[in-house]
């Protein structure tokens, strides 16, 4: 069971000397502590699986407001389902400066930029996009609110300790607190490596070329 915001704040205050001149700031600082964690690490519980439909002849779609970054997007179309390959923005713009001039079809690639992503080719029909992405943590709504992530109360408290030292200009103490935080995050991420049913295998150099099966002639990124 995760601790409530009020208890997380109380623990962090205890660890920094129970000073009484920071109470008015703690509600903001604990939310900054969540951002500090998110910037350093992806934590189980913040991985999201979401679906959205394409619209015929529409190339751009909004990213979820809480999206930190996309892990993968699949286009679901029965036996014709496919993984959409992410393309770098510069490469996309160089190879496809005007996507609208191409024939609409089932998308194979996407490029993300700021708060949207574009798919290519532009869809010729309605398809389901299945995305996996990592989200930013929701901020605490009130003192009774609990964090989204579980088994991480000590990590949140440590991140808040670092925020307290930073914002009270105790930068040497912040540096020590940050080292402790990173060590705790590394230990937490180590749990994800305990998968007994996962056996990664290296692929030969060049095995990751962007080629759509059966449609290589339509691939603007295939220079072979």
**Cα pseudo-dihedral 164, 168, 170, 173, rounded to 10:** -10
Pairing verdict, β 128-135 and 116-120: unpaired
Q: Are strands 82-86 and 67-76 parallel, antiparallel or unpaired?
A: antiparallel
Return d(Cα 39, Cα 68) in angstroms, integer. 9
**Residue 33 pLDDT greater than 90, yes or no:** yes
Query: What is the distance between the alpha carbons of residues 90 and 103, in angstroms, rounded to a whole number?
Result: 22
Question: What is the tens place of the pLDDT at every residue in 120-179?
Answer: 999 999 999 999 999 999 999 999 999 999 999 999 999 999 999 999 999 999 999 999
pLDDT for 35 beyond 80:
yes
Residues 6 or more apart whose Cβ sits within 8 Å of residue 87:
109, 110, 111, 120, 210, 221
Cα R_g (the chain), whole angstroms: 22
| Residues 97-132: tens digit of each pLDDT | 999 999 999 999 999 999 999 999 999 999 999 999
Instruction: Dump pLDDT digits (tens) for 38-55.
Output: 999 999 899 999 999 999
Q: Does residue 81 surpass a pLDDT of 60? A: yes
Average pLDDT over residues 6-32: 96
Q: Which residue has the tokens 């299945």?
A: 130
The answer to whether residues 22 and 85 touch, using CB atoms and an 8 Å cutoff, is no
Integer Cα distance of 162 and 98 in angstroms: 47
């Amino acid at each position: 069971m995760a601790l409530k915001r009020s208890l997380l704040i109380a623990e962090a205050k205890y660890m920094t000397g129970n000073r009484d001149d920071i109470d008015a700031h703690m509600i903001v600082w604990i939310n900054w502590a969540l951002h500090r964690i998110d910037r350093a690490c992806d934590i189980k519980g913040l991985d999201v699986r979401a679906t959205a439909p394409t619209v015929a002849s529409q190339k751009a779609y909004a990213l979820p407001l809480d999206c930190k970054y996309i892990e993968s997007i699949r286009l679901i179309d029965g036996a014709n389902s496919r993984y959409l390959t992410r393309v770098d923005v510069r490469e996309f713009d160089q190879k496809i400066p005007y996507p609208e001039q191409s024939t609409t079809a089932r998308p194979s690639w996407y490029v993300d930029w700021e708060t949207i992503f574009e798919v290519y080719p532009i869809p010729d029909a309605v398809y389901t996009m299945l995305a996996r992405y990592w989200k930013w943590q929701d901020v605490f709504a009130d003192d009774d609110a609990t964090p989204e992530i579980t088994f991480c109360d000590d990590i949140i408290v440590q991140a808040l300790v670092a925020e307290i030292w930073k914002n009270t200009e105790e930068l040497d103490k912040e540096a020590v607190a940050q080292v402790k935080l990173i060590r705790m995050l590394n230990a937490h991420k180590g749990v994800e490596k305990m998968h007994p049913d996962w056996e990664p295998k290296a692929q030969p150099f060049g095995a990751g070329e962007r080629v759509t099966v059966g449609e290589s002639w339509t691939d603007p990124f295939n220079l072979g």
